[in-house]
């Protein structure tokens, strides 16, 4: 009977060893994918920062990029502490982890919604930025939108209201119905021809 020789045993023929190698490859691929994702995310975020008057390199620094984002949207910086609270993996902290995740998600959505508004975009774009960051930020970065401060947004809203009031006044004073164009009495609130409701 031939004695077993450890030198004749090939470790690569061990199925458990092949399994470990496969797991290691998957972990390496995930790690590389996360690095690529973070680089792409930071590059696009850097363009958004530049539009808002900040340095591009700030987007590549963890935590600091959140600080700049909060400054752009005028949200209090202490909210960043929520992202720094560690999550504990244990059965006794499941409720805590779920609550922390929900709070972080709400804060992230509020900040991203304000970021979208600062670039003249809708709340829906803020939703896209929250759940699909690269796509949402790319809309702000590569679109023709410009960054507006809170004062500029307020002034824009005031000018818009003033313009609408002036337009409504002109419509009433012109004695013409905006619905059908017929001449009507300026004191009427509803056109007696087409029934169009006239704003005063």
What distance in Å separates the CA atoms of residue 65 and residue 45, rounded to the nearest whole number? 9
- DSSP state, residue 77: G
Q: Which of 143, 155, 196, 153 is nearest to 172 (CA)?
A: 196
Token pair of 86, please? 């560690």
**Tell me, what's the pLDDT at 84?**
84
Token pair of 58, please? 């700030």
What distance in Å separates the CA atoms of residue 181 and residue 193, rounded to the nearest whole number? 10
Kindly report the CA angle at 43 between 40 and 49, in degrees rounded to 5? 140
In this prediction the pTM is 0.67
Give the containing element (helix H, strand E) for 123: helix 123-131
More confident position, 173 or 125 = 125
**Tell me, what's the pLDDT at 20?**
76
What distance in Å separates the CA atoms of residue 37 and residue 40, rounded to the nearest whole number? 5
Alpha-helical regions (H) of 145-200 = 150-173
Report the pLDDT averaged over residues 147-176. 60
pLDDT digits (tens, 9 = 90+) for 32-77: 999 999 999 999 999 999 999 999 999 999 999 999 999 999 999 8
More confident position, 106 or 178 = 106
The residue behind tokens 């960043």 is 80
More confident position, 69 or 153 = 69
> Contact at 8 Å (CB) between 154 and 161?
no
pLDDT digits (tens, 9 = 90+) for 75-113: 998 988 888 888 776 666 788 888 889 999 999 999 999
The mean pLDDT value of the chain amounts to 80
171, pLDDT greater than 90: no
173, pLDDT greater than 50: no
């Amino acid at each position: 009977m031939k004695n077993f020789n450890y030198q004749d045993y090939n470790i690569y023929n061990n199925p458990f060893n092949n399994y470990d190698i496969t797991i290691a490859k998957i972990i390496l691929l995930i790690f590389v994918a996360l690095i690529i994702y973070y680089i792409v995310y930071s590059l696009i975020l850097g363009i958004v920062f530049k539009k808002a008057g900040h340095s591009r390199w700030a987007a590549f620094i963890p935590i600091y990029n959140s600080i700049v984002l909060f400054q752009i949207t005028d949200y209090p910086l202490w909210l960043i502490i929520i992202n720094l609270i560690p999550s504990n993996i244990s059965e006794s902290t499941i409720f805590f982890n779920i609550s922390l995740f929900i709070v972080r998600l709400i804060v992230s959505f509020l900040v991203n919604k304000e970021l979208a508004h600062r670039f003249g975009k809708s709340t829906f774009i803020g939703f896209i930025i929250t759940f699909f960051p690269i796509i949402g930020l790319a809309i702000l970065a590569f679109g023709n939108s410009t960054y507006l401060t809170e004062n500029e947004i307020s002034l824009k809203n005031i000018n818009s209201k003033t313009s609408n009031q002036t337009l409504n006044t002109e419509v009433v004073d012109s004695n013409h119905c905006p619905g059908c164009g017929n001449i009507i009495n300026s004191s009427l609130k509803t056109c007696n021809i087409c029934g169009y409701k006239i704003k005063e």
